[in-house]
Every structure is written in structure tokens, then in C-alpha cells.
């Protein structure tokens, strides 16, 4: 529709032209992203995802993914902190897969973390495990919905209402990739713990949601 309006030259002002062009660009980006996700997903589901596992440094993969995400962070006015344990052992992993995991989790943190969200990416090592977490201090996820968010196409009631953008595929991809690495994915959220639900800025509540 906006493309047609532009082509017809029926613009009330030059600003309108720019506005339409911006909408077209944004929507094209969104569709590209969606298509990429669907393609990755169908490949992975058919077991055709050529997981290319090799010994790598997950901290480096995380740092690179976060860097690629940085322009989005700046644009959205959220803050991002990265905490990486020192001297993490190398592990067998698929770098593209892990990058996709991070993109999806970061995208969710920005999308659902609310205005001025504070996002933390943390990578810790324990005996025989590496633990990667992405935390935001937004409204969180209701208890009864937590076990469903990793299901294909599932979106919470809050997300369906407020954020039209999204297909509910991201987290099922994340789960699939985590399991393909011999790991698992979990959610830890207490609605109201973040500061955005009640707009409560007292220290007590300013913990990650």
C-alpha cells in the first residue's frame, strides 16, 4: 500500500514520502528476519540443519553477537551489560546456531523488556557446563505461561495484545539449538520482580524480571 502511494506520487508533503519509505524499509527488514527464522526453523526441524560443530570459544561468539546487536541497542535506547567469566574452556559448538540463539534472546529482551530496559548477558562456567543467560528487567512472564513459551508459535497474552510483531518461533528455535548442543533452556521469571510492571523504582523491586 505504501509502495503504491509512493509510486502514484500522491503525497501531501515530502515528509509523508519519507515516512512511507521508512515504513517500507522497516517492514522489509521485518519480513526478511521472519523468513530467515522460518527457513532456519524448517531446516532444523527436518534435521537438515548442518550443525557445524567445532571447538570454539563461546565467550568470543557471545561478544561478536552482542557487537552485531549493538546498533539496535543504541537505536532502542536500552542498556546492555555483558558479564563473561574469564578463562572459559573451549567447547564443541555450532557458532551460527549459538549466534542465532543470542539474536533471538536479545531481540526478545528488547521487544518485551519495556522502555529503557536493562539487559544483561552473562556467561558462566561450572563443572562440565557453560551457562549463558539473557536477562531483562521488564514485566516478565506469568507463571502459567512460562512452560509454553518454548512451544512453536506460542506467544503470551501480553505479547499478543501489545506487540503485533512476532511469530512465536524464536524460542522454539532456541530450545532446539540448545538441545542439539546437549544442553537445555529454561526460563526464570517472577512477574512483578522487574521494575516495569508497577513502575516501582524502589530498590527492592529493581531486580531482573
Helix (H, G, I), strand (E, B) or coil at 54: strand
Binding partner selected for residue 138 from Mg ion, ligand ADP, none, CB under the kind-specific 5 to 8 Å limit: ligand ADP
> Would you count residue 172 as binding Mg ion (CB under 5 A)?
no
The residue among 138, 80, 76, 134 whose CA lies nearest residue 113 is 138
Number of chain positions touching Mg ion (CB under 5 A)? 2
> Would you count residue 155 as binding ligand ADP (CB under 6 A)?
yes
From the number of C-beta atoms within 10 Å of its C-beta (0-12, 13-18, 19+), residue 46 rates as: exposed
The only residue of 97, 113, 170, 208 in contact with Mg ion, by rule CB under 5 A:
170
Find cell 557458532 and name the residue: 95
Please state, in angstroms and rounded to a whole number, the distance separating the CA atoms of residues 63 and 178.
18
Please state, in angstroms and rounded to a whole number, the distance separating the CA atoms of residues 127 and 146.
27
As measured in angstroms, the least distance from the Cβ of 104 to Mg ion is 5
Nearest CB to ligand ADP, comparing residues 69 and 112 = 112
As measured in angstroms, the least distance from the Cβ of 195 to ligand ADP is 13
As measured in angstroms, the least distance from the Cβ of 18 to ligand ADP is 28
- 38 and 168 in contact (C-beta within 8 Å)? no
Question: What x/- string results for residues 95 through 114 when contact with Mg ion is judged by CB under 5 A?
Answer: -------------x------
Please state, in angstroms and rounded to a whole number, the distance separating the CA atoms of residues 173 and 171.
5
The only residue of 168, 183, 191, 192 in contact with ligand ADP, by rule CB under 6 A:
168
**125: which 3 cell numbers?**
562456567
> Would you count residue 119 as binding ligand ADP (CB under 6 A)?
no
Give residues in contact with ligand ADP (CB under 6 A).
Answer: 104, 108-109, 112-113, 136, 138, 140-141, 149, 154-156, 159, 166-171
Amino acid at each position: 500500500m505504501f509502495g503504491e502511494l509512493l509510486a502514484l506520487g500522491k503525497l501531501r508533503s515530502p515528509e509523508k514520502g519519507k515516512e512511507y519509505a521508512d515504513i517500507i524499509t522497516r517492514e522489509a527488514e521485518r519480513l526478511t528476519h521472519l523468513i530467515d527464522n522460518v527457513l532456519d526453523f524448517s531446516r532444523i526441524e527436518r534435521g537438515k540443519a548442518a550443525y557445524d560443530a567445532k571447538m570454539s570459544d563461546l565467550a568470543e561468539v557471545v561478544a561478536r553477537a552482542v557487537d552485531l546487536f549493538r546498533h539496535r541497542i543504541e537505536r532502542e535506547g536500552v542498556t546492555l551489560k555483558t558479564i563473561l567469566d574469564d578463562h572459559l574452556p573451549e567447547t564443541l559448538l555450532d557458532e551460527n546456531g549459538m549466534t542465532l540463539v543470542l539474536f533471538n534472546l536479545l531481540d526478545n529482551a528488547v521487544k518485551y523488556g519495556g522502555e529503557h530496559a536493562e539487559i544483561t548477558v552473562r556467561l558462566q562456567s561450572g563443572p562440565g557446563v557453560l551457562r549463558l543467560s539473557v536477562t531483562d528487567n521488564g514485566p516478565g512472564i506469568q507463571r502459567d505461561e512460562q512452560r509454553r513459551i518454548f512451544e512453536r508459535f506460542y506467544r503470551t497474552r501480553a505479547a499478543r495484545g501489545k506487540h503485533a510483531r512476532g511469530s512465536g518461533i524464536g524460542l522454539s528455535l532456541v530450545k532446539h539449538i540448545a538441545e542439539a548442543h546437549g544442553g537445555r533452556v529454561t526460563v526464570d521469571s517472577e512477574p512483578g520482580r522487574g521494575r516495569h510492571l508497577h513502575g516501582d523504582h524502589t530498590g527492592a523491586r529493581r531486580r531482573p524480571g
